[in-house]
Amino acid sequence: MEYVLKTKGITKYFYEPEKFKVLNDISLEVKHGEFLSLVGKSGCGKSTLMYVLSTMDTDYEGELEIAGECLTGKDLNYLADFRNKHIGFIFQFHYLLPEFTALQNVMIPAMKRGKYSRQEVQERAYEKLSILGVKDQALKVTSKLSGGQQQRVAIARALINDPDIIMGDEPTGNLDSYNTQLVFDILTELTHTYKQTIIAVTHDEEFARKSDRVVEMSDGKIV
């Protein structure tokens, strides 16, 4: 399958304080193994589009297809299950459980999915932590890790179910320049070595410029 994500005519309105078109006829195709950056000024609609693409926001017109499946109109439980299997998330803040170890945090989405035994999930978690260069931190509680280590653990967690797409919302937004470069290098390796598809919303021009493709938004449209 060449395209892992397709949209056709995605349009969305906000109704407060008055009716306002926040996404205007967005048609987009993302190839398998592509690293795509979504950029644009604050308020241009890129974060709203990310929520629609990630199936978290279902209040839109148009069509969304991921991994060959049309997701428009599916119920919320179905979409939650689909997300767990097919989409990994990296946010600006890591959202790790501070009293859990790095290993336990990475295991959570796979335990929830229930496809593998606990032993297999643990082995997979170690493997992902190893790819991210933080296997030696596996048994530390995440509150004791540095910011860069925490974000790498969060990426390992996003990878645990081998998702079709990783979606990043400002994935380097909370990091210093050293760790920003580190995380960017990791994401690049994931696409080039492991053929992982990544879609990231970013304000970081350098980050965007180095990705495979930049999609710029303005006033709810792709420009």
pLDDT digits (tens, 9 = 90+) for 62-116: 999 999 999 999 999 999 999 988 999 888 778 899 999 999 999 999 998 888 8
The per-residue pLDDT for 48 is 92
Its pTM stands at: 0.89
Q: Give 124-127's long-range contacts (Cβ < 8 A, gap of 24+).
A: 124/160, 125/156, 125/160
CATH number of the domain bearing residue 106: 3.40.50.300
In a domain, 67, yes or no: no
Structural domain total, the chain:
1
**19-46 tens-digit pLDDT:** 989 999 999 999 999 999 999 998 889 9
In a domain, 141, yes or no: yes
Residue closest to 180 by CA, chosen among 144, 209, 206: 206
Q: Which domain holds residue 189?
A: 34-59+76-222
Give the neighbor-by-neighbor strand order of the sheet with 197-201. 87-91, 165-169, 197-201, 35-39, 213-218, 221-222
In a domain, 183, yes or no: yes
- Flag whether pLDDT at 168 surpasses 60: yes
In a domain, 215, yes or no: yes
In a domain, 187, yes or no: yes
Written as six digits, the tokens of 67 are: 């991994």
In a domain, 202, yes or no: yes
In a domain, 29, yes or no: no
In a domain, 15, yes or no: no
